[in-house]
């Protein structure tokens, strides 16, 4: 049986993950859908889990450099 998230639980989960990123990376303003994420080091990106990466929008992920994303394996990004 597959559990489906409600919009409310997804929003809560997304906010929780975003707050943990802000705290871990010492980001002062919240990460919004239109914000650009940059200046992450490869080691910071490497510590993100696949589920945390899934909460980013395509435009946010687009701002990562190739060298920053290089540390992720395909299985980490798709699991």
Q: What pLDDT does 20 receive? A: 66
Q: What is the model's pLDDT at position 69?
A: 63
- pLDDT value for 57: 63
Tokens of 71: 């540390």
pLDDT over 60 at 74, yes or no: no
Question: So what's the pLDDT on residue 47?
Answer: 66
Higher pLDDT, 64 or 29: 64
> Is the predicted pLDDT of residue 12 greater than 50, yes or no?
yes
Length of the chain (residues): 79
Contact 45, 64 (CB under 8 A): yes
Name which of 61, 58, 49 is nearest 13 in CA terms: 49
How remote is the C-alpha of 17 from its chain's centroid? 8
For 19-25, what is the mean pLDDT? Answer: 64
């Amino acid at each position: 049986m597959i559990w489906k998230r409600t919009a409310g639980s997804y929003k809560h989960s997304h906010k929780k993950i975003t707050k943990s990123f802000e705290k871990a990376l010492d980001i002062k303003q919240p990460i919004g859908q239109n914000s650009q994420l940059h200046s992450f080091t490869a080691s910071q990106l490497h510590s993100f889990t696949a589920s945390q990466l899934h909460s980013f929008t395509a435009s946010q992920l687009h701002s990562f450099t190739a060298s920053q994303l290089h540390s992720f394996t395909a299985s980490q990004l798709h699991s």
